[in-house]
Each structure stands twice: as structure tokens, then as C-alpha cells.
């Protein structure tokens, strides 16, 4: 009889161990189990493809519905803002006309600044993150393509990260630009005007003071 030295317990004899291995190789888990596993995988794949088709159909229906709104034609004038983003944006905030001030949208997205201080110590200002997480995630997700494909946002990003005084880190710049995007979308939607890159660039001195 063999013993486990670490535990002091009896170990099974070698012939019994070999027999257990042989039985395991021909068990129902190996023979019938493989076939059932293939059936289950095939079922999951079919269900996955069915869900994909349903999502595509729902997205198409939502896009057609959004395209009927007045706001769509103005939001579409922003280079780098696609239909899927507009649909997701409006599903989160509703209509821009429901808000009196753009700051309400910043609060909704959790992009308002809060100062983390204690006693006499004056801390850094950071975004509150108390708004809708999905709206904030959408803004962050769409900002990178905007920086690449929208010349105005690209220049603003370069300005914030390379300005001589108080340059921002890339992530800080993206946070500021997310807020700027909400303000721009609010303005063009409520005033019903097309996106104007030159007019947006004129705000650089004001943004420098605010940041």
C-alpha cells in the first residue's frame, strides 16, 4: 500500500489507478458527451446569429426613426458623427430641446468638475462621474474617431496638450473635448444650424481660461 507523505493518507494502488484511467477513457462523458457538446455549441451559435440579426433590424428601425427628427439633420453635419452614435446619443438624453442650458447635459453625463479637498489642502479638480455612465462612455468612445477625422477637434486636442501654459494630459484633453462636444451638439440642435468648425475654433481663448 502506497502512502501520501505530505498528508499521511493512504493512496490507491497503482493497478487501481490504471483501471480508473481506462474506465474514464470509455466513460459516457467522453463518448456521448462529445456529441452533446457539439449539439450545444451549434445551438449557441445559431442563437448568437439570431440575436445579431435582431440587433441589426432593431438598429435599422431606430435609425429610420431618428432620421425623421429635426435634430438629426443638424447632428449629421458634424464630421465623424455617424448614425449609430446619433441614435445612441438621443436614446440617452432624449431631445436637446428638453434642456435649458448645456451645463445640464454636462451634469447628466457626469462631466462637471469637483474639487477633492480636505481641511486646508486644496485638491485637484476632477469630473464628478455622477451622471449616466453609458452616456459618458459613449462620449469617450466617439471622441477618438472625432480627433482623427474632425479637423476642428484634432486641432483643439493638439492645442490643449501642447499649449505653453498649463498643458493638459491626453486623457484630460479628451474629458474637456467631451464637454465641448456636448455644448456644440446642444448649440447646433437648439439653434438649428450646421456645424461650423471656424466658429468653434474661435472659442479657444475662453476654453483656455476655463481649463
In the structure, what pLDDT confidence band is assigned to residue 204 with cuts at 50, 70 and 90?
low
Residue 158 scores a pLDDT above 80: yes
Residue 6 scores a pLDDT above 60: no
Cell of 76: 449629421
pLDDT for res 25: 67
Higher pLDDT, 2 or 168: 168
DSSP labels, 138-195: HHHHHHHHHHHH-HHHHHHHHHHHH-SSSPPPHHHHHHHHHHHHHHHHHHHHHTT---
Higher pLDDT, 26 or 81: 81
SS3 content of the chain, % helix, strand, coil (to 5): 65, 5, 25
Residue 124 scores a pLDDT above 70: no
Residue 210 scores a pLDDT above 50: no
Q: Which stretches does DSSP call E strand in 63-119?
A: 113-115
pLDDT for res 15: 76
Q: In terms of Cα–Cα distance, which of 151, 112, 109 is closest to 133?
A: 109
Residue 190 scores a pLDDT above 70: yes
DSSP 8-state symbol, 203: T
pLDDT for res 28: 60
pLDDT tens digit sequence for 16-52: 777 777 766 666 665 566 777 788 889 999 999 999 9
Contact 25, 19 (CB under 8 A): no
Cell of 128: 464628478
- Domain residues of the chain, as ranges? 12-64, 70-116+124-210
The average pLDDT across 87-104 equals 90
- Cα separation, 134 vs 150, in Å, equals 23
Long-range contacts of 70-73, Cβ-Cβ distance < 8 Å, separation of 24 or more: 70/192, 71/95, 71/96, 71/97, 71/189
Amino acid at each position: 500500500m502506497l502512502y501520501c507523505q505530505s498528508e499521511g493518507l493512504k493512496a490507491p494502488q497503482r493497478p487501481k489507478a490504471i483501471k480508473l484511467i481506462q474506465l474514464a477513457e470509455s466513460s459516457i462523458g467522453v463518448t456521448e458527451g462529445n456529441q452533446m457538446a457539439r449539439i450545444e455549441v451549434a445551438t449557441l451559435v445559431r442563437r448568437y446569429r439570431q440575436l445579431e440579426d435582431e440587433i441589426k433590424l432593431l438598429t435599422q428601425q431606430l435609425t429610420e426613426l431618428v432620421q425623421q427628427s429635426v435634430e438629426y439633420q443638424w447632428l449629421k453635419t458634424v464630421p465623424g458623427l455617424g448614425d449609430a452614435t446619433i441614435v445612441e446619443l438621443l436614446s440617452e438624453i432624449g431631445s436637446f430641446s428638453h434642456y435649458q442650458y448645456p451645463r445640464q447635459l454636462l451634469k447628466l453625463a457626469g462631466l462637471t468638475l469637483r474639487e477633492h479637498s480636505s481641511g486646508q489642502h486644496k485638491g485637484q479638480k476632477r469630473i464628478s462621474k455622477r451622471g449616466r455612465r453609458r452616456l459618458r462612455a459613449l462620449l469617450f468612445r466617439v471622441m477618438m474617431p472625432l480627433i482623427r477625422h474632425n479637423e476642428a477637434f484634432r486641432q483643439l486636442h493638439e492645442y490643449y496638450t501642447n499649449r505653453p501654459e498649463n498643458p493638459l494630459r491626453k486623457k484630460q484633453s479628451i474629458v474637456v473635448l467631451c464637454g465641448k462636444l456636448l455644448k456644440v451638439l446642444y448649440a447646433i440642435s437648439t439653434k438649428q444650424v450646421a456645424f461650423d468648425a471656424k466658429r468653434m475654433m474661435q472659442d479657444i481663448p475662453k476654453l483656455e481660461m476655463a481649463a
